[in-house]
């Protein structure tokens, strides 16, 4: 889970730590890896997107962990608020 450092009403979420459920962390990274491996299929990994930009600037393993961290935050928000996931393309 991302560690939270908040002050003055502004939330700052840190990196995904190695604390917590090991198998869940591993599954998130495997899921992020599948998106990066099949990037020609996934619209989220095309140039001009957040993931596409990260892949051009950063090392692939670092991008996998960053994407897993992003997915963990989305999953946590959905579970905490009881929402249903809508992809950004469908919401726009």
pLDDT of residue 3: 63
Alpha carbons 60 and 6: distance in angstroms, whole number: 29
Strand partners, 7: 10
Query: What digits encode the pLDDT tens for the residues 14-57?
Result: 666 666 778 888 899 999 988 888 776 666 666 778 888 888 88
Pick 17 or 69 by higher pLDDT: 69
pLDDT of residue 68: 92
pLDDT at 89 over 70: no
Query: What digits encode the pLDDT tens for the residues 57-66?
Result: 888 889 999 9
Is residue 47 within 8 A of residue 57, CB to CB? The reply is no
Once rounded to an integer, what is the mean pLDDT over residues 57-84?
Answer: 89
pLDDT of residue 55: 85
Provide the token pair at 27. Answer: 């599954």
């Amino acid at each position: 889970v991302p560690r939270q450092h908040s002050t003055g009403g502004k939330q700052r979420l840190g990196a995904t730590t190695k604390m917590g459920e090991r198998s869940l962390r591993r599954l998130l990274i495997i899921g992020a890896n599948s998106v990066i491996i099949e990037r020609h299929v996934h619209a989220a990994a095309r140039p001009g997107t957040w993931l596409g930009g990260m892949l051009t600037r950063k090392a692939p393993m670092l991008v996998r962990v960053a994407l897993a961290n992003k997915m963990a935050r989305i999953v946590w928000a959905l579970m905490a608020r009881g929402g249903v996931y809508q992809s950004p393309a469908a919401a726009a």
